Amino acid sequence: MTRRPAISSAIFAIGAAVVIFVPLSAAAQSSPAAKAAATTAKQATERNDSGAAAKSQKWVMPRMSDGHPDFSGYWNSLTFTPFERPAKYGNREFLTPDEIKEIFRSGLRGSYEPGAQGSEDRYGGELFNPDSVDYDATTYGLSPWQNGIKPNPRTSLVVDPPDGKVPPLTPEAKARLAAGVRPAGGFPYVVDDHHGGAVVHADNARDLGQNTSCLSQSGGPPMIPAEYNSGIFIAQNPSYILIETEQGSEFRIVPLDGGPHPSSNIHQWHGDSRGHWEGDTLVVETTNLRPDHTYRNGDPKTQKIIEYFTRTSADTIEYKFTVDDPSTWTRPWSAIIPMTASMGPLFEYDCSENNNDAVNILAGARASEKKAAEGKPISQK
Amino acid sequence: MVIAAWTLAARLENGKSNALHRCMIRPILAAEFINHTAPTPRGSKGFVRLQQVIVCFVAAVCATLAGIPAAGQTRANPGAAAEKSATPGQFPPYRAARTPDGKPDLNGIWQAFVTADVDIQDHDAQAGPHPDVMGAYGAWPGGQGIVEGGEIPYKPEALAKKKENAGKRMVVNITSDPHRHDTGDPELKCYRPGVPRANYMPFPFQIIETPHVIVMAYEYARALRTIYMDNDKTVAADPPADSWMGWSHGHFEGDTLVVDSKGFVPYSWFDRAGDYHSDALHVVERYTPVSPYHIMYEATIEDPNVFTRPWKMTFPLYRRMEKNIQLVDFNCTEFVLDFLYGQYSKKTEK
């Protein structure tokens, strides 16, 4: 409900799919991006095979001229794995091979274009046609397998604590949230009317939350995938890494010079990120978050997000993040979200420039109020 | 030897010999040559460089024998060349530093210091909107235009539209259809500024150069451009759809980054004066490093729907030199929410 239908991106995606696939078949592999994309296309045919990860043994870590791993290119963090571990898995961190297969298949089916249901039969037991380009109306873009999604052997994205659950809030955080801190996502503006319908309560654009009002969408940190537009673009040189997230075309520029964060008087929507290398892992530490835009409404004074980027195969970055915020959670906690190589490029996501949601939802709310004042309340079913 | 040639060449900066002039650049190449440990076959780059070093040295020695005053006679103190104050619009010959993969290095945080966002043509200072409440905060600076030749070659009907734009630059009516773009300066609404306007907004932008793409990240409205380099076949040559910041392919011509952009939405403006374009806009930009601290920027604007011929704008970009310089947020959407959607908001008593 809070994500805006990305109509413009959808149109782009259709156009892009057509133009991008053609050169791929010509195998124009002049750049790592091209190679990654070609690998993606090739491995799409293997994607139903849960053991695909074992097949990348010949892979050699691509490196920049400075010797550090090269993360540049297009990635996607779309996932079918639940954020927290469902109770049925208990303390089990990994799925069985059968579970991996089943979750992946049901994920593909569940997110698949309605018209393509039953495609399993049409494509000889596959869930997709490896020779075609599919547009998925439920994700406003390429269907998940074309976004490069691969099976994830984990039972949850949260990997620490070992129970796979976000640790409890501190008493201080409970008190802070109870005191009525405005959540970054806004208060729910669609409210049950207790008569089988719902009423929109939104006095102004701020009530729609930062996502619908186009203030901040996907940039994080941490960068959490959503139902669609979970693309990530990385541009890298020895001094800086730029990370763009697709929804809202939001970006962070991460200096790698080891310099300090700015003073605590600087507050940024996506914080202030500084990177350094620990072996072949890029570590990005983010502070200076805005008081109204911390991760999960944490404490802006104490919240620190540490991200770990590690290339683990030709088409995978292991993206791990640790949330360190002692005044909000009883202990630091971490999650791993695999990013898989995806076909680029990302298209400009103009949000505020065409924010029909803000106009229509607010206009609807005013119309509802007018009707209610006339004694003829309307309920949106 | 190299240092001597360089020093003499520097003294002869204003001399008439082109060969000597080039010596300004050569020492860098000479240094590269000296660092070369591999043998230098005749006809190779290294051999040519060696020739150039020798030419420079010989020329410098000849100049010395001929007497420095003869070459630098317009100057009272020939030794003061390096201390001469800079002349606006003129830069001594310069060869840009190179990235690790050998491309001219444009990395950095850059900013224009023209007043073209107010008006790309010559203009006086003005009070700006609502001086009754804004005082001098809201006033706009005067300045010289950036349009080559001064005039923008509008078609007659397009000129009328520009004037209408200017008259309605603060008339904003946000709808849930494209009529939202009918009136009002997009800058006022915090929309992406488009190209070339993004480059002369009074905000810095950062160039991040990588082996495959060059990214331009603008502080204003978080606008972002990715420039696909060197005829990258993995990227569509033509824009798959229109966008605010366009679809850009780039390549280097010598030290100059040439960026060819099209696929623009027809809604962005060039300035607050209502200068505009259609979706046929085609911009060719040239970014030429002219010192470690400056890039000369030139954009050729072509739009047969609006202009009778292509025209150019030119201005320098300056490297931001603060030790701790970085882009900071100007996510101005936050500042225009009430302005844009106030007409749909609940009226509250004061």
- Cβ-contact A290, A264 below 8 angstroms: no
pLDDT of residue A57: 63
| Chain mean position to CA B94 | 17
Q: By the 8 A CB rule, do A289 and A303 touch?
A: yes
pLDDT band at A354 (very low <50, low <70, confident <90, very high): very high
> Residue A336's pLDDT is what?
98
- CB-based burial, B211-223: b 16+ in 10 Å, e otherwise: bbbbbbbbbbbbb
Q: ∠A290-A309-A90 over CA atoms, to 5°? A: 90
For an interface test with B, give the residue of A63, A140, A189, A237 to mutate (most B CBs within 10 A): A237
- Mean per-residue pLDDT, B199-220: 97
ipTM of the complex: 0.81
Q: Do B337 and A206 touch (CB under 8 A)?
A: yes
What's residue B177's pLDDT?
Answer: 93
User: Which of A128-142, A240-254, A366-380 has maximum average pLDDT?
Assistant: A240-254
Mean pLDDT of B236-248: 96
Report CA-CA distances (Å) from B331 to A79, A211, A294: 29, 13, 16
What's the pLDDT at A146? Answer: 66
Interface of A with B in 133-162 (CB under 8 A): none
pLDDT band at residue A107 using 50, 70 and 90 as cut-offs: confident
| pLDDT reported for residue A103 | 87
Residue among A134, A119, A127 nearest A151 (CA): A127
Chain B residue numbers touching A364 (CB-CB < 8 A): none
C-alpha A110/C-alpha A117 separation (Å) is 9
CA A188 to chain centre: 21
The predicted structure's pLDDT at residue B180? 95
Residue A262 has pLDDT above 90, yes or no: yes
Who's near A196: CB < 8 A, 6+ residues apart? A379, A381
Q: What percent of chain A has pLDDT above 90?
A: 55
Query: What pLDDT sits at residue A198?
Result: 77
**CA distance between the termini of chain A:** 14
Residue B333 is predicted with a pLDDT of 97
Q: How many helices (H) and strands (E) does chain A have?
A: 7, 14
d(CA A228, CA A230): 6
Comparing CA positions, the residue from B273, B116, B54 lying closest to residue B185 is B273
Contact call for residues B91 and B246 (beta carbons, < 8 A): no
A-chain residues near B226 (CB < 8 A): 233, 235, 345-346
Question: How many CB atoms are closer than 10 A to CB A252?
Answer: 24
Q: Does residue B157 register a pLDDT over 80?
A: yes
Chains A and B: how many Cβ contacts under 8 Å? 163
Spell out a b/e string for A159-174, using b for 16 or more CB atoms within 10 Å of the CB, else e: beeebbeebebbeebe
Band (pLDDT 50/70/90 cuts) for residue B52 is: very low
Per-window interface: B 289-328 vs A, CB < 8 A: 324, 326-328
Q: How far apart are CA A369 and CA A373, in angstroms?
A: 6
Specify whether the CB–CB gap between A311 and A71 falls below 8 A. Answer: yes
CB-neighbour burial class of residue A90 (10 A; exposed 0-12, middle 13-18, buried 19+): exposed
pLDDT band at A115 (very low <50, low <70, confident <90, very high): very low
* Tokens 């994205």 sit on residue: A157
Q: Contact A235/B208, CB-based, under 8 Å?
A: yes
Side chain identity at residue A218, one-letter code = S
User: Cis omega before residue A345 (within 30°)?
Assistant: yes
Percentage of chain A exceeding pLDDT 70: 72
Share of chain B above pLDDT 90, in %: 72
Exposure letters A271-300 (e unless 16+ CB within 10 A, then b): bbbbbeeeeebbbbbbbbbbebbbbbbbbb
DSSP B104: B
Question: Which residue of A205, A348, A363 is in closest CB contact with B244?
Answer: A348
Query: Is A353 in CB contact (< 8 Å) with chain B?
Result: yes
Is A203 close to B327, i.e. CB distance below 8 A? no
Quick one: pLDDT at residue B341? 97
Q: How many Å lie between the alpha carbon of B197 and the closest alpha carbon of chain A?
A: 16
DSSP classification of residue A86: P
Region A91-95: mean pLDDT is: 95
Checking if the pLDDT of A118 tops 60, the result is no
Using a 10 angstrom Cβ sphere, with 0-12 exposed, 13-18 middle and 19 or more buried, the burial of residue A345 is buried
Bridge partners of B192, per DSSP, are none
Which DSSP state fits B69?
Answer: H
Answer yes or no: is pLDDT of B5 > 80.
no
Q: How far is CA A40 from CA A15, A229, A235, A327, in A?
A: 19, 17, 19, 42
Q: What does the DSSP assignment read for B118-137?
A: T-SS-B--B--S-HHHHGGG
> Cα dihedral angle (B200, B201, B202, B206), rounded to 10 degrees?
-80
> Over 90: is that where the pLDDT of A66 sits?
yes
Do residues B213 and A30 lie in contact, with contact meaning Cβ atoms separated by under 8 Å? Answer: no
Please state which of the ranges A18-22, A219-223, A337-341, B254-258 shows the lowest mean pLDDT: A18-22
Residues B168-182 have pLDDT tens digits of 999 999 999 999 999
Return the pLDDT at B339.
Answer: 96
Helix (H, G, I), strand (E, B) or coil at A184: coil
Residues B306-320 pLDDT 10s:
999 999 999 999 999
Q: Provide the mean pLDDT of chain B.
A: 83
The tens digit of pLDDT for each residue in A22-62 reads 222 233 333 333 333 333 333 333 333 334 444 546 899 99
Q: What angle do CA A153, A156, A159 make, to 5 degrees?
A: 100
pLDDT at B16: 36
Answer for the pair A31, B236: CB distance below 8 angstroms, yes or no. no
* B336 confidence band (pLDDT: 50, 70, 90): very high
Q: How confident is the model at residue A344 (pLDDT cuts 50, 70, 90)?
A: confident
Element (H, E) at A277: strand A272-278
Q: What's the residue count for chain B?
A: 350
pLDDT attached to residue A281: 98
pLDDT at A319 over 80: yes
Check whether A350 has a pLDDT greater than 60.
yes
Whether the pLDDT of residue A345 is over 80: the answer is: yes
A314 pLDDT more than 50: yes
* pLDDT score for A53: 46
Does residue A351 carry a pLDDT above 70? yes
How far, in Å, CA of B276 to CA of B197, rounded?
10
Nearest CA in chain A to B188: A353
pLDDT of residue B3 exceeding 50: no
Q: What is this structure's pTM?
A: 0.80
Which pLDDT value is given to residue A26? 30
Measured CA to CA in angstroms, residue A188 lies from A201, A210, A308, A363, B122 at distances of 8, 12, 33, 17, 51
Domain boundaries, chain A: 1-381
Mean of pLDDT over chain A: 80
Quick one: closest CA in B to A343, which residue?
B234
Question: What residues in B contact A269, CB-CB < 8 Å?
Answer: 329, 331
Q: For residue B299, what pLDDT is reported?
A: 98
Per-domain boundaries in chain B: 2-83, 108-340
Is the Cβ of A96 closer than 8 Å to some Cβ of chain B? no
Confidence (pLDDT) at B125: 98
Give residue-wise pLDDT tens across range B134-150.
999 999 999 999 999 99
Query: What residues have CB less than 8 Å from B129, skipping those under 6 apart?
Result: B138, B170
